Amino acid sequence: MENAGGSFRIKRIYDDPADDDGCRVLVDRLWPRGVTKERAGLELWLKDIAPSPPLRQEFAHMQERFADFRAQYEDELENNPAVEQLLDLAARHKRVTLLYAAKDPEVNHARVPLEFLQDRSS
């Protein structure tokens, strides 16, 4: 989704950086294992956009918990100032890539702010 600035997408941090990633932002609260800062190629590590530790632990990347997790995480995002930081980045960059370490490309926490931000930036 495009806005007056850029678009958002998600990508595993273990995938190689690409020229079309634009502004790379890590959205995990914990640093991913085995990734050096050089390899990550980040513009920003935005821990504050990640789900709260209790919510992250309750979800535990279990697909059957994702719907409940999404609803609770969206509630957290509603009052999270880090959302505004990401919208500001999108206004200045053609693309903002939200990076995550989870193995599942469909059931992971980064999908929630991606869709949340797309809704607010369109």
Amino acid sitting at position 3: N
H runs (alpha helix) in the chain: 37-40, 53-59, 66-78, 81-92, 111-121
Residue-wise pLDDT tens digits, 4-31: 457 999 999 999 999 999 999 999 999 9
Task: Indicate whether 114 belongs to any domain.
Answer: yes
Task: Indicate whether 58 belongs to any domain.
Answer: yes
Which residue, 116, 107, 122, 94, is CA-closest to 12? Answer: 107
| pLDDT > 50? residue 2 | no
Structural domain count of the chain: 1
pLDDT at 5: 57
Specify which residues 4 forms β-bridges with: none
Amino acid sitting at position 11: K
* Percentage of residues in the chain having pLDDT higher than 70: 94
pTM for the whole structure? 0.91
Q: Is 67 exposed, middle or buried (0-12, 13-18, 19+ CB in 10 A)?
A: exposed
Q: Which domain holds residue 101?
A: 7-121
pLDDT at 1: 31
Task: Indicate whether 69 belongs to any domain.
Answer: yes
pLDDT, the chain, mean: 92
Q: Confidence band (pLDDT; 50, 70, 90) for 60?
A: confident
The two three-digit tokens of residue 52, written as one number = 């709260």
| pLDDT > 50? residue 63 | yes
Task: Indicate whether 1 belongs to any domain.
Answer: no
